[in-house]
Structure 1
Amino acid sequence: MYTQKMHPAATFPEVSVTLSTGETVSLTNKEEGCDWKMVVVFRGKHCPICTKYLNKLEDFTGRLREMNIDVVAVSGDSKAQLDEHLDELSINFPIACGLSQSDMEKLGLYISEPRSEKETDHNFAEPALFVLNSDNEIHIAEIANAPFVRPDLEQLVSGLEFIRNPDNNYPIRGTLKS
């Protein structure tokens, strides 16, 4: 299956998911005091690389919060799979499940079939990361087709500190249309 990628500066689409608390929210909802949002799409409970990445992301949430950037992670897992996954995670940021295949397609994600029933019981999104500005426009997008490709968190957060500094007046990159 081929996907239609979303472009930088495009408005992030409306996608509702279920938080680990059971609450249904939009991925663009921002916690009070935050005007930007980081949406981290992970493959699911079956992926040990995802677990490691999410646990590492926790180390950066303080710096992100200082920049008024809210964070949410989401997968296509079921609520039961997410509940099991929580045992392996040491995170305090919101995590959600229930990303539908149609929403994966809407977000322009690469989607994989499980290699076997031991992996998981549903098609799943490969990793992606979006940073949305105060207008819910895509300021940064990273869409991968394999679990091994993810943004280096230190470099990403340092870059966001540069972008969020008003003295730098840093625009959304990659918007040239020929």
Structure 2
Amino acid sequence: MPNSYTNKLHPGMKFPEFSLPLLNGEARTVGKAQNGFDWQLVLIYRGQHCPLCTKYLNQLQVLKSEFNDIGVDIIAVSGDSKAQLETHLEKLTTDYAIAYGLTIEQMKAYGLYVSDPRSAEETDHPFSEPGLFVINEDGMIQVVDISNNPFVRPELGALKNGLAWIRNPDNHYPIRGMHTY
């Protein structure tokens, strides 16, 4: 039985911005687009122990330029330590920003589901289950997808195509799902 409830972020809400470290020593504000882009895709993954996360992060790399072409910056984030991220990079083919050190409190602020490791061999800390947020130029949540397990994630090609359609000014497409009852 769960010991608490999560507060979910909703479309149209201001995305909580947190500064997290990158391996190069810089800090990056999660939720604030960089590199001349005005939207940001924030991908929160379970950590280096998750082979499905590794596969997903590498799939995102394949589409990175297409996301960039429609003005979307990319950052991936986990609760892993610096050492765990360094180990994980041996399996990754990515060149977008990857931040580490997401805290339990930050996971809660993002409305993520948090799991305990199955064993010490898996990892040494509670970790968030996958979350994906697309933040628009106003810092508002345009798209949100939160999962309680590693098996359910948005298909990245469909997401990119959808964002391209949303970003086309001729479509006048608003933020969807803003009513919660």
Q: TM-score, normalised by structure 2?
A: 0.96
Q: 1:85 aligns with which of 50, 74, 88?
A: 88
Give how far 1:106 is off: 0.5
Give how far 1:32 is off: 2.8
Q: What count of residue pairs does the alignment treat as equivalent?
A: 178
CA distance in 2, matches of 1:143, 1:156: 14
CA distance in 1, matches of 2:55, 2:130: 13
CA distance in 2, matches of 1:29, 1:21: 18
Name the counterpart of 1:107: 110
1:57-89 Cα deviation digits (max 9, x unpaired): 001111111111000000000000001100100
Confirm or deny: 8 A CA contact 2:32 2:139 kept in the other structure: no
Give percent identity, aligned residues only: 50
Shift in CA distance, 177/109, structure 1 to aligned 2, threshold 3 Å: closer
Opposite residue 7 of structure 2, the aligned amino acid is: Q
Q: 1:138 aligns with which of 138, 141, 150?
A: 141
Give how far 1:21 is off: 1.5
Gapped regions of structure 1 (runs ≥ 5): none
Give how far 1:22 is off: 2.1
**Is 1:8–2:11 an aligned residue pair?**
yes
Confirm or deny: 8 A CA contact 1:55 1:90 kept in the other structure: yes
Q: CA RMSD in A?
A: 0.9
Gapped regions of structure 2 (runs ≥ 5): none
Opposite residue 5 of structure 2, the aligned amino acid is: Y
Opposite residue 76 of structure 1, the aligned amino acid is: G
Name the counterpart of 2:163: 160
Confirm or deny: 8 A CA contact 2:17 2:32 kept in the other structure: no
**Is 1:124–2:124 an aligned residue pair?**
no
Give how far 1:28 is off: 2.1
